[in-house]
A and B are shown apart, each in its own frame.
Chain A
Amino acid sequence: MIEIQDLYKYYGERRVVGPVSASIQKGEIVGLLGLNGAGKTTTLRVLACDLLPTSGSVRVGGFDVVEQPHEVRGKVGYLPDRPPLYEDMTVHEYLSYAARLRRVRPNDVEKRVSDVEGLTELGDVRRQLVGTLSHGYKQRIGIAQAIVHRPDFVVLDEPIGGLDPLQIVEMRGLVRGLRGDHTVVVSSHILHEISETCDRILVIQKGEILWSGREADLSTQVEHGMRIRVTGRLAGATPEAASERLSSLLSGVSGVLSVEAREATEPGDGIASVEVVAESDVRDAVCRALVASDASVLEVSRLRDLETTFRALLEGSSS
Protein backbone atom coordinates (compact mmCIF):
# COMPACT_ATOMS: atom_id res chain seq x y z
CA MET A 1 0.00 0.00 0.00
CA ILE A 2 2.69 2.51 1.05
CA GLU A 3 6.34 1.98 0.21
CA ILE A 4 8.94 4.42 1.49
CA GLN A 5 12.47 3.92 0.25
CA ASP A 6 15.43 5.98 1.47
CA LEU A 7 13.33 9.08 2.04
CA TYR A 8 15.28 12.24 2.86
CA LYS A 9 13.90 15.70 3.48
CA TYR A 10 16.14 18.72 3.95
CA TYR A 11 15.08 22.23 4.95
CA GLY A 12 17.94 24.18 3.40
CA GLU A 13 21.10 22.50 4.65
CA ARG A 14 19.37 20.89 7.63
CA ARG A 15 18.38 17.25 7.38
CA VAL A 16 14.97 16.89 8.98
CA VAL A 17 14.07 13.38 7.84
CA GLY A 18 16.17 10.54 6.52
CA PRO A 19 17.04 7.94 5.80
CA VAL A 20 13.57 6.49 6.24
CA SER A 21 12.46 3.23 4.68
CA ALA A 22 9.21 1.55 5.64
CA SER A 23 6.35 -0.43 4.25
CA ILE A 24 2.74 -0.13 5.39
CA GLN A 25 0.21 -2.77 4.40
CA LYS A 26 -3.41 -2.24 3.45
CA GLY A 27 -5.75 -1.99 6.45
CA GLU A 28 -2.98 -1.46 9.02
CA ILE A 29 -3.10 1.25 11.68
CA VAL A 30 0.49 2.33 12.13
CA GLY A 31 1.70 4.72 14.81
CA LEU A 32 4.55 7.12 14.16
CA LEU A 33 6.06 7.75 17.55
CA GLY A 34 8.69 10.34 18.33
CA LEU A 35 9.52 13.35 20.43
CA ASN A 36 8.75 16.87 19.25
CA GLY A 37 11.11 17.75 16.41
CA ALA A 38 11.85 14.09 15.59
CA GLY A 39 10.57 14.47 12.02
CA LYS A 40 7.05 13.02 12.41
CA THR A 41 5.14 15.93 10.90
CA THR A 42 7.54 16.34 7.98
CA THR A 43 7.30 12.61 7.20
CA LEU A 44 3.50 12.77 7.30
CA ARG A 45 3.44 15.88 5.11
CA VAL A 46 5.47 14.03 2.52
CA LEU A 47 3.07 11.07 2.68
CA ALA A 48 0.14 13.47 2.22
CA CYS A 49 1.88 15.18 -0.72
CA ASP A 50 1.93 18.51 1.10
CA LEU A 51 5.73 18.52 0.84
CA LEU A 52 7.91 16.81 -1.72
CA PRO A 53 10.89 14.70 -0.66
CA THR A 54 14.43 15.92 -1.26
CA SER A 55 15.39 12.41 -2.35
CA GLY A 56 14.16 8.86 -2.12
CA SER A 57 10.96 7.27 -3.27
CA VAL A 58 7.51 7.30 -1.68
CA ARG A 59 4.73 5.35 -3.37
CA VAL A 60 1.14 5.42 -2.17
CA GLY A 61 -1.21 2.86 -3.72
CA GLY A 62 1.31 2.39 -6.51
CA PHE A 63 1.60 6.11 -7.32
CA ASP A 64 4.78 8.10 -6.81
CA VAL A 65 4.40 11.29 -4.74
CA VAL A 66 6.75 13.25 -7.01
CA GLU A 67 5.70 11.90 -10.41
CA GLN A 68 1.96 11.48 -9.73
CA PRO A 69 1.08 13.81 -6.84
CA HIS A 70 -2.43 14.41 -8.20
CA GLU A 71 -3.27 10.69 -8.06
CA VAL A 72 -1.73 10.32 -4.59
CA ARG A 73 -3.73 13.25 -3.21
CA GLY A 74 -6.91 11.60 -4.43
CA LYS A 75 -6.12 8.56 -2.32
CA VAL A 76 -5.03 10.35 0.85
CA GLY A 77 -6.96 12.10 3.61
CA TYR A 78 -4.84 14.29 5.87
CA LEU A 79 -5.45 15.83 9.27
CA PRO A 80 -2.52 18.12 10.09
CA ASP A 81 -1.62 18.97 13.69
CA ARG A 82 -3.74 22.13 13.26
CA PRO A 83 -6.99 21.24 11.48
CA PRO A 84 -7.35 23.24 8.24
CA LEU A 85 -10.71 24.83 8.98
CA TYR A 86 -12.46 27.86 7.52
CA GLU A 87 -14.04 29.44 10.54
CA ASP A 88 -16.48 31.53 8.51
CA MET A 89 -18.23 28.44 7.10
CA THR A 90 -20.76 26.19 8.79
CA VAL A 91 -19.67 22.61 9.48
CA HIS A 92 -21.88 21.30 6.68
CA GLU A 93 -20.69 23.89 4.17
CA TYR A 94 -17.08 23.20 5.05
CA LEU A 95 -17.38 19.42 4.71
CA SER A 96 -19.27 19.80 1.43
CA TYR A 97 -16.51 22.08 0.17
CA ALA A 98 -13.83 19.59 1.24
CA ALA A 99 -15.74 16.74 -0.45
CA ARG A 100 -16.05 18.63 -3.72
CA LEU A 101 -12.40 19.66 -3.65
CA ARG A 102 -11.54 16.00 -3.26
CA ARG A 103 -13.57 15.09 -6.32
CA VAL A 104 -16.53 13.37 -4.66
CA ARG A 105 -19.19 13.10 -7.37
CA PRO A 106 -21.75 15.96 -7.08
CA ASN A 107 -24.64 13.50 -6.60
CA ASP A 108 -22.82 11.77 -3.75
CA VAL A 109 -21.65 14.84 -1.83
CA GLU A 110 -24.72 15.24 0.36
CA LYS A 111 -24.76 11.57 1.36
CA ARG A 112 -21.04 11.40 2.04
CA VAL A 113 -21.14 14.53 4.16
CA SER A 114 -24.15 13.24 6.12
CA ASP A 115 -22.35 9.92 6.64
CA VAL A 116 -19.18 11.48 8.05
CA GLU A 117 -21.20 13.90 10.17
CA GLY A 118 -22.87 10.85 11.69
CA LEU A 119 -19.61 8.95 12.09
CA THR A 120 -17.88 11.85 13.82
CA GLU A 121 -21.00 12.90 15.76
CA LEU A 122 -21.20 16.34 14.18
CA GLY A 123 -24.87 16.15 13.25
CA ASP A 124 -25.96 18.44 16.09
CA VAL A 125 -23.62 21.24 15.05
CA ARG A 126 -23.78 20.91 11.28
CA ARG A 127 -25.44 24.34 10.88
CA GLN A 128 -23.07 26.11 13.26
CA LEU A 129 -20.11 28.19 12.18
CA VAL A 130 -16.84 26.29 12.59
CA GLY A 131 -15.30 29.25 14.39
CA THR A 132 -17.84 29.04 17.22
CA LEU A 133 -17.08 25.40 18.13
CA SER A 134 -14.81 23.93 20.80
CA HIS A 135 -11.39 22.41 20.15
CA GLY A 136 -12.80 18.89 20.45
CA TYR A 137 -15.40 19.54 17.76
CA LYS A 138 -12.77 21.13 15.53
CA GLN A 139 -10.61 18.01 15.77
CA ARG A 140 -13.63 15.93 14.80
CA ILE A 141 -14.30 18.19 11.81
CA GLY A 142 -10.63 17.74 10.93
CA ILE A 143 -11.05 13.96 10.91
CA ALA A 144 -14.32 14.26 8.98
CA GLN A 145 -12.69 16.32 6.20
CA ALA A 146 -9.89 13.75 6.01
CA ILE A 147 -12.25 10.83 5.35
CA VAL A 148 -15.14 12.52 3.52
CA HIS A 149 -13.89 11.25 0.14
CA ARG A 150 -13.34 7.67 1.39
CA PRO A 151 -9.57 7.73 0.94
CA ASP A 152 -7.63 4.49 0.98
CA PHE A 153 -5.04 6.07 3.21
CA VAL A 154 -5.60 8.41 6.19
CA VAL A 155 -2.79 10.44 7.78
CA LEU A 156 -3.50 11.87 11.24
CA ASP A 157 -0.93 14.16 12.83
CA GLU A 158 -1.34 14.30 16.61
CA PRO A 159 -5.14 13.88 16.54
CA ILE A 160 -5.44 14.02 20.33
CA GLY A 161 -3.44 17.22 20.76
CA GLY A 162 -5.18 19.59 23.17
CA LEU A 163 -8.14 17.29 23.88
CA ASP A 164 -9.53 16.64 27.36
CA PRO A 165 -9.62 13.05 28.75
CA LEU A 166 -13.19 12.41 27.59
CA GLN A 167 -12.48 13.73 24.13
CA ILE A 168 -9.31 11.60 23.98
CA VAL A 169 -11.37 8.46 24.60
CA GLU A 170 -13.83 9.53 21.86
CA MET A 171 -11.00 10.27 19.45
CA ARG A 172 -9.41 6.88 20.13
CA GLY A 173 -12.73 5.23 19.26
CA LEU A 174 -12.95 7.31 16.11
CA VAL A 175 -9.46 6.33 14.97
CA ARG A 176 -10.09 2.67 15.78
CA GLY A 177 -13.32 2.90 13.80
CA LEU A 178 -11.29 3.68 10.67
CA ARG A 179 -9.76 0.19 10.81
CA GLY A 180 -10.69 -1.98 7.89
CA ASP A 181 -11.93 0.71 5.51
CA HIS A 182 -8.72 2.70 5.59
CA THR A 183 -4.99 2.31 6.06
CA VAL A 184 -4.11 4.76 8.81
CA VAL A 185 -0.88 6.40 9.92
CA VAL A 186 -1.22 8.32 13.16
CA SER A 187 1.51 10.27 14.88
CA SER A 188 1.99 11.06 18.54
CA HIS A 189 4.72 11.69 21.05
CA ILE A 190 2.78 9.69 23.65
CA LEU A 191 3.50 5.96 23.49
CA HIS A 192 0.43 5.12 25.53
CA GLU A 193 -1.83 6.71 22.93
CA ILE A 194 -0.12 4.95 20.05
CA SER A 195 -0.31 1.59 21.80
CA GLU A 196 -4.04 2.05 22.43
CA THR A 197 -4.92 2.53 18.78
CA CYS A 198 -2.21 1.09 16.55
CA ASP A 199 -1.29 -2.35 15.25
CA ARG A 200 2.33 -1.41 14.74
CA ILE A 201 4.68 1.33 15.82
CA LEU A 202 7.43 3.15 13.96
CA VAL A 203 9.66 4.98 16.41
CA ILE A 204 11.32 7.98 14.82
CA GLN A 205 14.15 10.04 16.23
CA LYS A 206 16.31 12.69 14.58
CA GLY A 207 14.54 11.93 11.30
CA GLU A 208 15.39 8.23 11.28
CA ILE A 209 13.30 5.15 12.02
CA LEU A 210 14.77 3.85 15.24
CA TRP A 211 12.55 0.85 15.76
CA SER A 212 9.58 -0.82 14.12
CA GLY A 213 7.27 -3.49 15.48
CA ARG A 214 4.44 -4.24 17.88
CA GLU A 215 4.26 -2.40 21.19
CA ALA A 216 4.57 -5.71 23.11
CA ASP A 217 7.82 -6.49 21.30
CA LEU A 218 9.12 -3.01 22.04
CA SER A 219 8.67 -3.47 25.80
CA THR A 220 10.22 -6.95 25.77
CA GLN A 221 13.19 -5.88 23.72
CA VAL A 222 13.97 -2.64 25.50
CA GLU A 223 13.36 -3.90 29.01
CA HIS A 224 15.22 -7.15 28.28
CA GLY A 225 12.35 -9.24 29.61
CA MET A 226 8.84 -8.91 30.90
CA ARG A 227 7.48 -7.78 34.24
CA ILE A 228 4.38 -9.51 35.56
CA ARG A 229 2.33 -8.84 38.66
CA VAL A 230 0.84 -11.94 40.28
CA THR A 231 -1.74 -11.84 43.05
CA GLY A 232 -2.83 -15.09 44.68
CA ARG A 233 -4.74 -16.35 47.69
CA LEU A 234 -3.52 -19.08 50.00
CA ALA A 235 -6.34 -19.97 52.33
CA GLY A 236 -5.50 -19.63 56.04
CA ALA A 237 -1.99 -18.22 55.50
CA THR A 238 -0.75 -14.95 56.97
CA PRO A 239 0.18 -12.25 54.44
CA GLU A 240 3.91 -12.89 55.02
CA ALA A 241 3.53 -16.65 54.64
CA ALA A 242 1.37 -16.23 51.53
CA SER A 243 3.96 -13.94 49.99
CA GLU A 244 6.79 -16.37 50.71
CA ARG A 245 4.83 -19.30 49.30
CA LEU A 246 3.98 -17.41 46.11
CA SER A 247 7.61 -16.39 45.67
CA SER A 248 8.92 -19.90 46.09
CA LEU A 249 6.27 -21.31 43.72
CA LEU A 250 7.02 -18.83 40.96
CA SER A 251 10.80 -18.95 41.32
CA GLY A 252 10.64 -22.49 40.05
CA VAL A 253 8.83 -21.56 36.82
CA SER A 254 11.05 -21.86 33.77
CA GLY A 255 12.10 -18.47 32.39
CA VAL A 256 11.54 -16.54 35.61
CA LEU A 257 14.57 -14.43 36.50
CA SER A 258 13.46 -12.99 39.83
CA VAL A 259 10.46 -12.66 42.12
CA GLU A 260 9.96 -9.81 44.57
CA ALA A 261 7.23 -9.38 47.15
CA ARG A 262 4.97 -6.36 46.71
CA GLU A 263 2.15 -4.84 48.70
CA ALA A 264 -1.03 -6.85 48.13
CA THR A 265 -3.22 -5.19 45.47
CA GLU A 266 -6.34 -6.01 47.49
CA PRO A 267 -7.08 -6.69 51.16
CA GLY A 268 -8.07 -10.12 52.44
CA ASP A 269 -6.90 -13.19 54.30
CA GLY A 270 -4.05 -15.05 52.62
CA ILE A 271 -3.81 -12.60 49.72
CA ALA A 272 -0.34 -11.61 48.52
CA SER A 273 1.17 -9.95 45.45
CA VAL A 274 4.58 -10.42 43.86
CA GLU A 275 6.37 -8.94 40.88
CA VAL A 276 7.98 -11.42 38.53
CA VAL A 277 10.73 -10.53 36.06
CA ALA A 278 11.00 -13.09 33.29
CA GLU A 279 13.11 -13.36 30.17
CA SER A 280 10.00 -13.79 28.02
CA ASP A 281 6.21 -13.97 28.30
CA VAL A 282 5.73 -16.66 31.01
CA ARG A 283 2.16 -15.79 32.00
CA ASP A 284 0.82 -19.15 30.80
CA ALA A 285 3.41 -21.06 32.83
CA VAL A 286 2.75 -18.89 35.89
CA CYS A 287 -0.97 -19.64 35.74
CA ARG A 288 -0.34 -23.36 35.34
CA ALA A 289 2.07 -23.39 38.29
CA LEU A 290 -0.45 -21.62 40.54
CA VAL A 291 -3.37 -23.83 39.49
CA ALA A 292 -1.27 -26.94 40.11
CA SER A 293 -0.49 -25.72 43.63
CA ASP A 294 -2.74 -24.89 46.56
CA ALA A 295 -2.99 -21.20 45.57
CA SER A 296 -5.94 -19.45 43.93
CA VAL A 297 -5.15 -17.06 41.06
CA LEU A 298 -6.59 -13.58 41.55
CA GLU A 299 -4.48 -11.64 39.06
CA VAL A 300 -1.75 -12.24 36.48
CA SER A 301 -1.05 -9.05 34.58
CA ARG A 302 1.74 -7.63 32.61
CA LEU A 303 3.28 -4.45 34.03
CA ARG A 304 3.78 -1.81 31.37
CA ASP A 305 5.42 1.51 31.95
CA LEU A 306 5.27 2.63 28.39
CA GLU A 307 6.83 6.03 28.77
CA THR A 308 9.81 4.51 30.60
CA THR A 309 10.14 1.97 27.82
CA PHE A 310 10.07 4.73 25.22
CA ARG A 311 12.64 6.76 27.11
CA ALA A 312 14.89 3.71 27.48
CA LEU A 313 14.69 3.11 23.73
CA LEU A 314 15.63 6.70 22.90
CA GLU A 315 18.41 6.76 25.48
CA GLY A 316 19.70 3.43 24.19
CA SER A 317 19.90 4.84 20.70
CA SER A 318 21.70 8.02 21.69
CA SER A 319 24.27 6.15 23.78
Chain B
Amino acid sequence: MSPLFLIARREFYAYMRSPLGSAIIAAALVIDGLWFHLQGMSKPMLSAEVLQEFFNGASGTTMGASIVLSMRLLAEERQTGTLTLLNTAPVRDAEIVLGKFLSALTVIVLMTALTIYMPLLILVNGKVSWGQVGVGYLGLVLLGAATISIGLFASALARSQVIAAVIGAALLVVMLLLWLVARAVEPPLNTFLARLALHHENFRPFMQGILEFRGVVYYLSVTYFFLLAATKTLEARRWR
Protein backbone atom coordinates (compact mmCIF):
# COMPACT_ATOMS: atom_id res chain seq x y z
CA MET B 1 0.00 0.00 0.00
CA SER B 2 1.38 3.40 -0.90
CA PRO B 3 2.15 5.83 1.94
CA LEU B 4 -0.67 8.06 0.75
CA PHE B 5 -3.32 5.39 1.38
CA LEU B 6 -1.58 4.24 4.58
CA ILE B 7 -1.85 7.75 5.97
CA ALA B 8 -5.41 8.13 4.72
CA ARG B 9 -6.45 4.83 6.33
CA ARG B 10 -4.82 5.69 9.66
CA GLU B 11 -6.49 9.09 9.76
CA PHE B 12 -9.87 7.67 8.82
CA TYR B 13 -9.64 5.13 11.65
CA ALA B 14 -8.58 7.94 13.98
CA TYR B 15 -11.78 9.83 13.09
CA MET B 16 -13.89 6.75 13.59
CA ARG B 17 -12.25 5.74 16.89
CA SER B 18 -12.52 9.16 18.47
CA PRO B 19 -15.82 10.81 19.32
CA LEU B 20 -14.95 13.60 16.87
CA GLY B 21 -15.97 11.79 13.68
CA SER B 22 -19.24 10.44 15.02
CA ALA B 23 -20.09 13.72 16.77
CA ILE B 24 -19.57 15.75 13.60
CA ILE B 25 -21.60 13.34 11.48
CA ALA B 26 -24.39 13.23 14.07
CA ALA B 27 -24.49 17.01 14.45
CA ALA B 28 -24.53 17.53 10.68
CA LEU B 29 -27.37 15.03 10.25
CA VAL B 30 -29.45 16.71 12.97
CA ILE B 31 -28.90 20.16 11.48
CA ASP B 32 -29.62 18.94 7.95
CA GLY B 33 -32.79 17.21 9.15
CA LEU B 34 -34.02 20.29 11.01
CA TRP B 35 -33.23 22.52 8.03
CA PHE B 36 -35.05 20.14 5.69
CA HIS B 37 -38.08 20.11 7.94
CA LEU B 38 -38.20 23.85 8.64
CA GLN B 39 -37.25 25.20 5.21
CA GLY B 40 -38.44 22.51 2.86
CA MET B 41 -41.56 21.08 4.46
CA SER B 42 -43.16 23.95 6.34
CA LYS B 43 -44.64 25.77 3.33
CA PRO B 44 -45.99 24.80 -0.11
CA MET B 45 -43.09 24.51 -2.57
CA LEU B 46 -42.29 22.67 -5.76
CA SER B 47 -40.34 19.44 -5.25
CA ALA B 48 -37.34 20.86 -7.11
CA GLU B 49 -37.35 23.90 -4.81
CA VAL B 50 -37.48 21.68 -1.73
CA LEU B 51 -34.49 19.77 -3.04
CA GLN B 52 -32.67 23.05 -3.71
CA GLU B 53 -33.30 24.12 -0.12
CA PHE B 54 -32.00 20.80 1.12
CA PHE B 55 -28.75 21.20 -0.82
CA ASN B 56 -28.48 24.82 0.32
CA GLY B 57 -28.67 23.75 3.96
CA ALA B 58 -26.43 20.73 3.44
CA SER B 59 -23.77 22.96 1.86
CA GLY B 60 -23.55 24.91 5.14
CA THR B 61 -23.13 21.81 7.28
CA THR B 62 -20.65 20.38 4.76
CA MET B 63 -18.47 23.50 4.99
CA GLY B 64 -18.70 23.62 8.79
CA ALA B 65 -17.91 19.94 9.19
CA SER B 66 -15.03 20.19 6.71
CA ILE B 67 -13.35 22.97 8.67
CA VAL B 68 -13.76 21.12 11.99
CA LEU B 69 -12.50 17.85 10.50
CA SER B 70 -9.50 19.40 8.80
CA MET B 71 -8.29 21.66 11.61
CA ARG B 72 -6.61 18.74 13.38
CA LEU B 73 -5.03 17.07 10.39
CA LEU B 74 -1.56 18.61 10.62
CA ALA B 75 -1.79 20.93 13.63
CA GLU B 76 -2.56 18.05 16.00
CA GLU B 77 0.37 16.03 14.62
CA ARG B 78 2.62 19.02 15.22
CA GLN B 79 1.22 19.51 18.75
CA THR B 80 1.75 15.89 19.74
CA GLY B 81 5.07 15.49 17.91
CA THR B 82 3.83 12.69 15.63
CA LEU B 83 4.51 14.76 12.51
CA THR B 84 8.16 13.80 13.06
CA LEU B 85 7.28 10.18 12.25
CA LEU B 86 5.95 11.25 8.86
CA ASN B 87 8.67 13.84 8.26
CA THR B 88 11.48 11.35 8.83
CA ALA B 89 9.92 8.47 6.88
CA PRO B 90 10.53 8.11 3.14
CA VAL B 91 7.22 9.82 2.42
CA ARG B 92 6.83 12.92 0.27
CA ASP B 93 5.15 16.00 1.72
CA ALA B 94 2.55 15.81 -1.04
CA GLU B 95 1.70 12.25 0.03
CA ILE B 96 1.26 13.39 3.64
CA VAL B 97 -1.08 16.20 2.58
CA LEU B 98 -3.05 14.05 0.11
CA GLY B 99 -3.39 11.21 2.62
CA LYS B 100 -4.78 13.57 5.22
CA PHE B 101 -7.07 15.16 2.66
CA LEU B 102 -8.44 11.82 1.52
CA SER B 103 -9.27 10.73 5.06
CA ALA B 104 -11.29 13.87 5.79
CA LEU B 105 -12.96 13.69 2.38
CA THR B 106 -14.00 10.09 3.08
CA VAL B 107 -15.71 11.21 6.29
CA ILE B 108 -17.46 14.03 4.42
CA VAL B 109 -18.62 11.62 1.69
CA LEU B 110 -19.89 9.23 4.37
CA MET B 111 -21.67 12.07 6.17
CA THR B 112 -23.20 13.33 2.92
CA ALA B 113 -24.29 9.85 1.89
CA LEU B 114 -26.19 9.45 5.16
CA THR B 115 -28.45 12.39 4.19
CA ILE B 116 -29.76 10.52 1.14
CA TYR B 117 -33.01 9.65 2.88
CA MET B 118 -34.16 13.27 2.55
CA PRO B 119 -33.86 13.50 -1.27
CA LEU B 120 -35.39 9.99 -1.42
CA LEU B 121 -38.42 11.30 0.48
CA ILE B 122 -38.82 14.01 -2.13
CA LEU B 123 -38.36 11.48 -4.94
CA VAL B 124 -41.06 9.25 -3.49
CA ASN B 125 -43.56 11.97 -2.64
CA GLY B 126 -42.77 14.56 -5.31
CA LYS B 127 -41.32 14.95 -8.71
CA VAL B 128 -37.61 15.53 -9.05
CA SER B 129 -35.04 13.92 -11.29
CA TRP B 130 -32.22 11.64 -10.25
CA GLY B 131 -30.01 14.03 -12.23
CA GLN B 132 -30.76 16.91 -9.88
CA VAL B 133 -30.05 14.68 -6.89
CA GLY B 134 -26.78 13.41 -8.37
CA VAL B 135 -25.54 16.85 -9.44
CA GLY B 136 -26.45 18.29 -6.04
CA TYR B 137 -24.46 15.60 -4.25
CA LEU B 138 -21.54 16.09 -6.64
CA GLY B 139 -21.63 19.78 -5.72
CA LEU B 140 -21.61 18.93 -1.99
CA VAL B 141 -18.59 16.66 -2.38
CA LEU B 142 -16.72 19.24 -4.48
CA LEU B 143 -17.57 21.98 -1.98
CA GLY B 144 -16.44 19.69 0.85
CA ALA B 145 -13.16 18.94 -0.95
CA ALA B 146 -12.47 22.63 -1.47
CA THR B 147 -13.27 23.47 2.16
CA ILE B 148 -11.16 20.61 3.51
CA SER B 149 -8.22 21.83 1.43
CA ILE B 150 -8.67 25.33 2.90
CA GLY B 151 -8.77 23.86 6.42
CA LEU B 152 -5.78 21.65 5.68
CA PHE B 153 -3.78 24.65 4.55
CA ALA B 154 -4.72 26.45 7.78
CA SER B 155 -3.71 23.33 9.73
CA ALA B 156 -0.32 23.33 7.99
CA LEU B 157 0.21 26.95 9.00
CA ALA B 158 -0.91 26.74 12.63
CA ARG B 159 0.78 25.31 15.70
CA SER B 160 -2.48 24.41 17.44
CA GLN B 161 -5.84 23.08 16.36
CA VAL B 162 -7.70 26.09 17.71
CA ILE B 163 -5.57 28.51 15.71
CA ALA B 164 -5.97 26.25 12.67
CA ALA B 165 -9.75 26.39 13.09
CA VAL B 166 -9.69 30.18 13.39
CA ILE B 167 -7.47 30.63 10.32
CA GLY B 168 -9.50 28.08 8.35
CA ALA B 169 -12.81 29.71 9.31
CA ALA B 170 -11.46 33.17 8.45
CA LEU B 171 -10.29 32.01 5.02
CA LEU B 172 -13.63 30.31 4.44
CA VAL B 173 -15.59 33.44 5.37
CA VAL B 174 -13.44 35.55 3.05
CA MET B 175 -13.97 33.06 0.23
CA LEU B 176 -17.73 33.05 0.91
CA LEU B 177 -18.10 36.82 1.09
CA LEU B 178 -16.29 37.56 -2.14
CA TRP B 179 -19.66 37.87 -3.90
CA LEU B 180 -20.56 40.71 -1.51
CA VAL B 181 -17.26 42.43 -2.23
CA ALA B 182 -18.01 41.95 -5.91
CA ARG B 183 -21.11 44.14 -5.53
CA ALA B 184 -19.01 47.03 -4.25
CA VAL B 185 -16.43 47.12 -7.04
CA GLU B 186 -16.52 48.18 -10.68
CA PRO B 187 -16.58 45.85 -13.69
CA PRO B 188 -14.75 43.78 -14.76
CA LEU B 189 -13.33 43.09 -11.27
CA ASN B 190 -16.80 42.44 -9.87
CA THR B 191 -17.39 39.53 -12.25
CA PHE B 192 -13.99 38.10 -11.43
CA LEU B 193 -14.56 38.31 -7.66
CA ALA B 194 -18.07 36.90 -7.95
CA ARG B 195 -16.69 33.91 -9.84
CA LEU B 196 -14.14 33.38 -7.08
CA ALA B 197 -16.75 33.18 -4.30
CA LEU B 198 -16.89 29.70 -2.79
CA HIS B 199 -20.66 29.31 -2.70
CA HIS B 200 -22.83 31.92 -4.37
CA GLU B 201 -22.43 31.70 -8.17
CA ASN B 202 -20.51 28.49 -8.14
CA PHE B 203 -22.75 26.31 -5.99
CA ARG B 204 -26.19 27.48 -7.08
CA PRO B 205 -26.16 25.63 -10.42
CA PHE B 206 -25.38 22.39 -8.54
CA MET B 207 -28.36 23.01 -6.23
CA GLN B 208 -30.56 23.39 -9.29
CA GLY B 209 -29.25 20.23 -10.87
CA ILE B 210 -27.28 22.08 -13.56
CA LEU B 211 -23.87 20.58 -14.11
CA GLU B 212 -21.63 23.44 -15.18
CA PHE B 213 -18.14 22.57 -16.33
CA ARG B 214 -16.73 25.84 -15.01
CA GLY B 215 -18.16 25.12 -11.54
CA VAL B 216 -16.44 21.73 -11.43
CA VAL B 217 -13.19 23.30 -12.65
CA TYR B 218 -13.52 26.06 -10.05
CA TYR B 219 -13.86 23.68 -7.09
CA LEU B 220 -11.10 21.40 -8.35
CA SER B 221 -8.85 24.45 -8.83
CA VAL B 222 -9.51 25.74 -5.29
CA THR B 223 -8.82 22.26 -3.93
CA TYR B 224 -5.60 21.94 -5.92
CA PHE B 225 -4.43 25.43 -4.98
CA PHE B 226 -4.86 24.98 -1.23
CA LEU B 227 -3.45 21.43 -1.22
CA LEU B 228 -0.41 22.75 -3.05
CA ALA B 229 -0.15 25.62 -0.56
CA ALA B 230 -0.33 23.14 2.34
CA THR B 231 2.39 20.99 0.74
CA LYS B 232 4.64 24.00 0.19
CA THR B 233 4.05 25.11 3.78
CA LEU B 234 5.19 21.70 5.04
CA GLU B 235 8.26 21.85 2.81
CA ALA B 236 9.09 25.38 3.92
CA ARG B 237 8.95 24.37 7.58
CA ARG B 238 11.95 22.11 7.04
CA TRP B 239 13.95 25.14 5.98
CA ARG B 240 12.58 27.59 8.59
B18 near A50 with CB under 8 A, answer no
Q: Does B14 contact A (CB under 8 A)?
A: yes
Q: How far is the CB of A183 from chain B (nearest CB, A)?
A: 16
Looking at chain B's contact residues, the main secondary structure is helix
Give the complex CA separation of A147 and B154 in angstroms.
33
A101 near B18 with CB under 8 A, answer no
Q: Does B127 contact A (CB under 8 A)?
A: no
Q: Does B125 contact A (CB under 8 A)?
A: no
A84 near B14 with CB under 8 A, answer no
Q: How far is the CB of B98 from chain A (nearest CB, A)?
A: 14
Given known A-B contacts A101-B6, A102-B90, A85 and B84 have beta carbons under 8 A apart: no
Q: Does B195 contact A (CB under 8 A)?
A: no
B84 near A74 with CB under 8 A, answer no
Within 8 A of A (CB), among B171-202: none
Looking at chain A's contact residues, the main secondary structure is loop
Q: How far is the CB of B112 from chain A (nearest CB, A)?
A: 25
Q: Does A111 contact B (CB under 8 A)?
A: no
Pick the most buried of A12, A50, A52, A70: most chain B CB atoms within 10 A of its CB: A50
B1 near A100 with CB under 8 A, answer yes
Give the complex CA separation of A52 and B163 in angstroms.
26
Given known A-B contacts A50-B238, A88-B17, A98 and B88 have beta carbons under 8 A apart: no
Given known A-B contacts A49-B88, A73-B88, A101-B91, A82 and B81 have beta carbons under 8 A apart: yes
Given known A-B contacts A11-B240, A97-B10, A80 and B89 have beta carbons under 8 A apart: no
Q: Which single residue of chain B is at the shortest CB-CB distance from A155?
A: B88
Q: Which single residue of chain B is at the shortest CB-CB distance from A74?
A: B90
Residues of B near any A CB (own CB < 8 A): 1, 3, 6-7, 10, 14, 17-18, 80-92, 238-240
Residues of A near any B CB (own CB < 8 A): 11-12, 48-52, 54, 70-71, 73-74, 76, 78, 80, 82-89, 97-98, 100-103, 106, 145
Q: A84-B81, A101-B3 are in contact. List 20 more A-B contacts (CB 8 A).
A: A48-B88, A49-B87, A50-B84, A50-B87, A50-B238, A51-B238, A71-B90, A73-B91, A76-B88, A78-B88, A84-B82, A84-B84, A85-B82, A87-B80, A89-B10, A97-B6, A98-B89, A100-B6, A103-B90, A106-B1
